[in-house]
Amino acid sequence: MPLYNLTNRPRRLRRTSALRAMVQETQLTVNDLIYPVFVMEGENLKQEIVSMPDCYRYSLDLLIKEVKECYELGIKAIALFPLVTDDKKDNEGTESYNPDGLVQRTIKAIKAEVPEITIITDVALDPYSPFGHDGIVVDGQILNDETVAVLAKMSVSQARAGADMVAPSDMMDGRIGVIREALDEAGFTHVGIIAYSAKYASAYYGPFRDALESAPKFGDKKTYQMDIANSREAITEVELDIAEGADMVMVKPALAYLDIIRQVRDYTNIPVVAYNVSGEYAMIKAAAEKGWIDEKKIVLETLTSMKRAGSDLILTYFAKQVALMLK
Ligand code: PBG
């Protein structure tokens, strides 16, 4: 006789690893991962980003090798970010739509070597602007509509080079609709848009700005990125971006915003993307380096939490490491 006559004993389903696997609700697979990569000018260069251990900026020749390796590990998509030299930066971000710019050359070269991999490009002015802001600056203000016009040119230029999807990360109003129209008019109806819809003015982007030397030279990004305290506003942004033609919507950062991922998931049926950003990466790496946490387990737990919260896809600097782990 048992000590107590319990009707329900949830532990029954946790008794063996086979039972646990049978009732597991969330599975993380390599298909969920998008690998953000940094490209720079030059040859045979591989520079570790100080605040992002094991994460590198590559010159194009080495990046191609890295991307090939990732594709062979099953990673289906990369998100491309350029380190633009200072002499190419201007307030209007004109280099962003140079047909021979770093991003455009990189897209073409990767498509020639690894044609099946999905290339997602970043659409925003900050890597191209001496001010490090995501838009054109006049009298300390970030102009909206003038910036959107540049973003549309940038998107078309990236599509022309062979990008599969463009991902506007700038948070200007109305840019998804304008970009959609510009892509369609230029004959790129097949090129998709991943909208950074709920992108917060977060301190978690610090290491990324080190990687691209793109920290804002004055002020902060609070007049365009969202207030970290808001959640209903995230749904408003998602609603607008979907109405304007977004194919997928993103929540960024991810870990401190799992509630937002869940709300967006419940609001829409289109794919939801989470961005496991640089600061989230750096925190895990730093604690693991100190021997304070088990890196592999923490990485899998963290990414699983994002899927459980409702994201279909995750941009993560851990993508390659996870692809190796899941093999
Ligand atoms: C800029 C951009 C940022 C990130 C992606 N695109 C930084 C910012 O908004 O300042 C951050 C990514 C990360 O932290 O991993 N448009």
**And the tokens for 285?**
């790496």
Scanning the structure block, which residue is given the tokens 């969330």? Answer: 26
Position 1 scores a pLDDT of 87
Residue ranges in 98-254 assigned as alpha helix (H): 102-113, 145-161, 175-185, 206-212, 232-244
Nearest to 78 by CA among 315, 323, 325: 315
pLDDT at 203 > cutoff 90: yes
Q: Which atom of ligand 1 is closest in space to residue 122's alpha carbon?
A: 6
Residue 319 has pLDDT above 90, yes or no: yes
pTM: 0.97
The rounded Å distance from CA 205 to ligand 1 centre is 6
| Residue 36 scores a pLDDT above 90 | yes
User: Mean of the pLDDT values across residues 105-122?
Assistant: 98
- Centre a 10 Å sphere on the Cβ of residue 79 and count the other Cβ atoms it contains: 21
Q: How many CA atoms lie within 13 A of 31 on its CB side?
A: 2
Segment 33-40 shows an average pLDDT of: 98
* Percent of the chain predicted with pLDDT > 70: 100
Q: What are phi and psi of 177, to 5 degrees?
A: -65, -45
Taking only the tens place, the pLDDT of each residue in 67-105 is 999 999 999 999 999 999 999 999 999 999 999 999 999
Q: What is the pLDDT of residues 261-306, one digit of tens each?
A: 999 999 999 999 999 999 999 999 999 999 999 999 999 999 999 9
Q: Which two tokens stand for residue 325?
A: 């782990």
Q: What is the pLDDT of residue 214?
A: 86
Q: What is the mean pLDDT of residues 21-43?
A: 98
CB 122 near ligand 1, within 6 Å: yes
Which atom of ligand 1 is closest in space to residue 124's alpha carbon? 16
Provide the pLDDT confidence category of residue 212 given band limits of 50, 70 and 90. confident
Q: Is 38 in the pocket of ligand 1 (CB under 6 A)?
A: no
C-alpha span between 155 and 171 (Å, rounded) = 15
Locate all alpha helices (DSSP H) within 218-317, ordered by sequence.
232-244, 258-267, 278-289, 295-309
Residue 23 CA: distances (Å) to CA of 12, 183, 205, 299: 11, 44, 36, 22
Map tokens 């305290």 to a residue: 229
Average pLDDT over residues 188-217: 94
Structure confidence at residue 211 (pLDDT) = 84
What is the percentage of the chain residues whose pLDDT exceeds 90?
Answer: 97
Cβ 126 under 6 angstroms from ligand 1 = yes
Q: What is the pLDDT of residues 116-171, one digit of tens each?
A: 999 999 999 999 999 999 999 999 999 999 999 999 999 999 999 999 999 999 99
Using one digit for the tens of pLDDT, what is the confidence trace for 169-193?
Answer: 999 999 999 999 999 999 999 999 9
Is the CB of 205 within 6 Å of ligand 1?
A: yes
The finding on whether 124 has its CB within 6 A of some atom of ligand 1 is yes
Which of 52, 125, 277 should be mutated for ligand 1, with most atoms under 8 A from CB? 277
For residue 80, give the nearest of 98, 97, 99, 105 by alpha carbon: 105
C-alpha 248/C-alpha 181 separation (Å) is: 17
Amino acid in position 69: E
Smallest CA separation from ligand 1 atom 2, residue: 169
CA distance 273 to 200: 14
Give the residues across from 313 on adjacent strands. Answer: 273
Mean pLDDT, residues 54-77: 98
Predicted confidence at residue 158, as pLDDT, reads 98
Ligand 1 mean position, distance from CA 7 (Å): 51
Question: How far, in Å, CA of 172 to CA of 264, rounded?
Answer: 20
pLDDT band of residue 311 (cuts 50, 70, 90) is: very high
* Residue 312: how many other CB atoms lie within 10 Å: 15
User: Ligand 1 mean position to 313 CA, how many Å?
Assistant: 17
306 token code pair: 């994002």
Instruction: Compute the distance from residue 22 Cα to the ligand 1 centre, in Å.
Output: 38
28, containing H or E segment: none
Task: For 120, list phi and psi in degrees, rounded to 5.
Answer: -110, 130
Cα of 92 vs centre of ligand 1, distance in Å, is 19
Q: Is the CB of 278 under 6 A from ligand 1?
A: yes
User: Active-site positions?
Assistant: 199, 252
